[in-house]
Amino acid sequence: MRELNAIQSILTKALLTARESNAQQIKSVQLAIGEISELDQNSIQKHWDELSQDTPAEHAKLHFHLINAEVQCMACFMKYDPVDGEIHCPHCGSYGAKILSGEEFYLESIELDHG
């Protein structure tokens, strides 16, 4: 459900941008998605298709920009990129870490068609 809400708010923002610039159609949408955000691109696409029906975003092509995760070990404070989303410090072996990036999901840019 969190996913659906996030997609809905991105769609709303994209439609607003299109209206403000008097665009007929949204050609494509670029979404930033964190490596460990647990969001699935296929399911985002599916929700998008449902939500964007009968809107100028209906035929928009979705592009995904994957953002690498970075976490900071709580034991040794080293920063590392979790492999396969797994939080396990390669320096000291600790499992506790603070997530610095990688959970993002937001609208990065859109391409408009002014007809």
Residue 56 or 102: the one with the smaller Cβ distance to Zn ion is: 102
* DSSP run (H or E) holding 62: strand 61-67
Q: How many CB atoms lie within 10 A of CB 115?
A: 7
Contact track, Zn ion, 72-111, x by CB under 5 A: -x-xx------------x-xx-x-----------------
* Pairing of β 61-67 and β 25-34: parallel
Distance from C-alpha of 75 to C-alpha of 114, rounded to nearest angstrom: 54
Contact 11, 3 (CB under 8 A): no
Specify the 3-state DSSP secondary structure of 111. strand
Supply the minimum distance, in Å, between the C-beta of residue 97 and Zn ion: 8
Residue 4 or 75: the one with the smaller Cβ distance to Zn ion is: 75
Contact track, Zn ion, 16-55, x by CB under 5 A: ----------------------------------------
Binding site for Zn ion (CB under 5 A): 73, 75-76, 89, 91-92, 94
